[in-house]
């Protein structure tokens, strides 16, 4: 955590140093829209891969939670005991 903060500070300082020589008047709304579009183009494939991976090969935790949701909806609710804890009977 501390290392990430230090790296972030270094990146911010380097950005400030390098932006001194950049003409900021060239940055307008069209430039911002292009940056947003490029960011989305780069982010969407990673996001889609994550969704597809979770659907095709879910983690053990996700499998158990899906089973619990199915059983609770079939039983009309989540089965709890008097102590308020959720009890799952996995066959």
pLDDT confidence tier of residue 27, bands split at 50, 70 and 90: confident
At residue 12 the predicted structure's pLDDT band, cuts being 50, 70 and 90, is: confident
2 has pLDDT over 90: no
Q: Could you tell me the two tokens for 71?
A: 């059983």
- If one counts the domains in the chain, the total is 1
Residue 84 lies in a domain: no
Domain contains 87: no
Domain that holds residue 11: 2-75
Which pLDDT does position 75 carry in this prediction? 61
Quote the pLDDT of residue 44.
92
Residue 86, phi then psi, degrees to nearest 5: -80, 130
């Amino acid at each position: 955590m501390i290392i990430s903060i230090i790296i972030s500070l270094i990146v911010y300082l380097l950005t400030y140093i390098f932006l001194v020589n950049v003409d900021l008047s060239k940055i307008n709304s069209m430039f911002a829209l292009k940056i947003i579009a490029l960011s989305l183009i780069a982010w969407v494939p990673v996001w889609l891969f994550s969704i597809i991976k979770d659907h095709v090969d879910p983690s053990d935790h996700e499998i158990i939670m899906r089973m619990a949701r199915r059983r609770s909806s079939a039983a009309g609710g989540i089965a709890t005991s008097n102590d308020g804890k959720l009890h799952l009977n996995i066959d």
